[in-house]
Amino acid sequence: MTRSDLAARTVSSARHRTQYWEAGPIDGPPMIFLHGWPGNGLLWHAQVEAFASLGWHCVAPDMRGYAGSSAPTTVDGYAIQEIVGDMVELHEHLGAYPAVWVGHDLGSPVAAALAAHHAARAGDLNGLLDALGVPEAILVGHDWGATHPTELFYLGAG
Amino acid sequence: MTLEQMRHGLPALVGGLELDGIGHWVQHEAADLVSVALVKFLRTVKPV
């Protein structure tokens, strides 16, 4: 098994179960990829494999409602606050090292909320990351949907 | 919406990349370009 191979894992609590896809060294700097609506963690497989092979600990969860993760039956269960709670539990499970969060579509506001309300989970990566020459950052990516003739991929620092 | 319009609501926006002919799942449809863009972004916010 090479370290870029994807492995399916789960983290469960009383409130939620998240399935996530993982690759790369578990002691590497964490990079967590959040898919949007609709999707699942495997949408990021190319990035997960690419960054894992560079030494990052890559994690791509199935967000709540999708694939191997719990699917609440109420609308309220899909509030951003609840999704952020899932990611906090996942991040804690992974060791709570400051991470680079990459979001697409609905994953983007989740990444942004993590930066705004849980800054330490996305914050100072100095020391941990200096050896690899990689930054402290929150990364938010999005595009404007299939109706737009030209897709826009944007990157913002939080 | 243009990149400049987005800047009004996203003052920390550092850049963007428009990809012609690529659909919604940009990370899947243009995987290599997205990965390169991620690296460029990371190096922009913290130069090596």
Structural domains in chain B (count): 1
Domain that holds residue B29: 23-48
Tell me the domain boundaries of chain A. 7-157
Q: How far apart are CA A22 and CA A49, in angstroms?
A: 9
Please judge whether B12 and A158 are an interchain contact, meaning their C-beta atoms are less than 8 angstroms apart.
Answer: yes
Give ipTM to 2 decimals.
0.88
Nearest to A99 by CA among A69, A120, A130, A78: A120
Angle at B37 between CA A134 and CA A65, to 5 degrees: 90
Q: CA-nearest residue of chain A to B17?
A: A153
* Contact of A20 with A60, CB cutoff 8 Å: yes
Check whether A133 has a pLDDT greater than 50.
no
Q: Where are the alpha helices (DSSP H) in chain A?
A: 45-52, 80-93, 107-117
A20: closest CA of chain B, how far (Å): 18
Please judge whether A150 and B38 are an interchain contact, meaning their C-beta atoms are less than 8 angstroms apart.
Answer: no
pTM confidence score: 0.83
- Which residue has 């950052």 as its token pair? A137
**pLDDT digits 0-9 by tens, A23-34:** 999 998 889 999
In a domain, B48, yes or no: yes
What is the per-residue DSSP string for A81-124?
HHHHHHHHHHHHHTT----EEEE-TTHHHHHHHHHHH-GGGTS-
**pLDDT digits 0-9 by tens, A8-23:** 999 999 999 999 999 9
CATH 3.90.1200.10 fits A7-157, yes or no: no
Confidence of residue A157 (pLDDT cuts 50, 70, 90): very low
